Amino acid sequence: MSHLRYGAHVQANGIRQHYLRYGPAKDVGVGRDPVIVVPGITSPAVTWGFVAEQLAARLEVYVLDVRGRGLSEAGPHLDYGLDAQAADLNAFAAALGLARYSVLGHSMGARIAIRAAQSRPAGLARMVWVDPPVSGPGRRPYPAQLPWYIDSIRQARRGMSGEDMRAFCPTWTDEQRALRAQWLHTCDERAILASFSGFHEDAVVEQVAHVTCPTLLITAARGDVVGDEDVAEMQTLLPALAHIRVAEAGHMIPWDNAAGFYAALGDFLEAPTNDSEGSSHGGQ
C-alpha cells in the first residue's frame, strides 16, 4: 500500500510551492521529526516518490518541487538563484507550521539546505546532504555538462518516451526512465540555467562551517562530484560531520544502489525529537 497521502500547494516566500506528502500508518513515527526532501536540479518531487515511500514507513515526509520544477511556480518573473531557493525552503517549513523538521537534500537540494541553514531557522533539527556539488568560485567545475540537461528538457517538451530517455539515463530502470520522461518538461529551462551557473558562482562549501545541527554527508563511491579531499575539507570545517560513501553508486545514489543508500542513511533521521544531539550514527 502506498504511503502517499496527497499533493498540495502552499503560498510561501511569495510564490506557489507544490509538495507531495507521504506518511506512515497511524501512531507510527510519533515523536520523530518530519523530513523535507529537496531534490536536485532536474528532479521534480514525483521522481523522489520511491525514496519517500521508503522513508514514510516510519516518518512524515514532504517532497518539495523546487521553484521552476514540477508543479511549483515558474516563469520569467522568478529569481532562480540559490538565496531565493533557500528562502523558499525556510518559508515552506514555516508555512506548514513545522516546529521541528529534518532536511534531506540531493545534489542541488543539498546546496539549498546548506544555504538555508545559514539563517539558522529555529525548527531545523538535522540535515542529510546527498552528493552535494562542491564547485564554486576558485574550485573545480561541476563535472556534469549543461547540454545533458538542456537537450533532454527540450526533447521532453516535444514529447519523449521512456525508451528515448535511455540515451540520457542508460543505467536506470524502465520505470524510472518513463517517469523522468513524463515529468522532465516541467523543468523551466531558465531555472536550470540559473542553477547550473550557480554551481560555479555560489560559494557553498565554505558555509559548512556555520552549520550547527547534526548532519550526515552521503557520497557516491563511483561519482566524481565529491572527492576524498572535499570530504576532508568539509569535516575540517564541521568536525561533527558524519560521512558514508555508498558503493556501486554514481551521483544519483538511490537510483544506482537503493539498498546502499538506505543503509548509509540508517536511523539518522529517526532520532526522537527530544534527542538534541541527533542520532549516534557514526562517520566513515
The cell for 185 is 518538461
**Helices of type H across the chain:** 49-55, 82-95, 108-117, 146-158, 162-165, 174-183, 189-201, 228-237, 253-256, 258-265
For residue range 240-279, list pLDDT tens digits in order. 999 999 999 999 999 999 999 999 999 999 876 665 444 4
Domains within the chain, CATH numbers bracketed: 4-141+203-268 (3.40.50.1820)
For residue range 194-230, list pLDDT tens digits in order. 999 999 999 999 999 999 999 999 999 998 999 999 9
How much is the pLDDT for 31? 78
How much is the pLDDT for 273? 63
The pTM of this model reads 0.95
182: left (phi over 0), alpha (psi -120 to 50) or beta: alpha
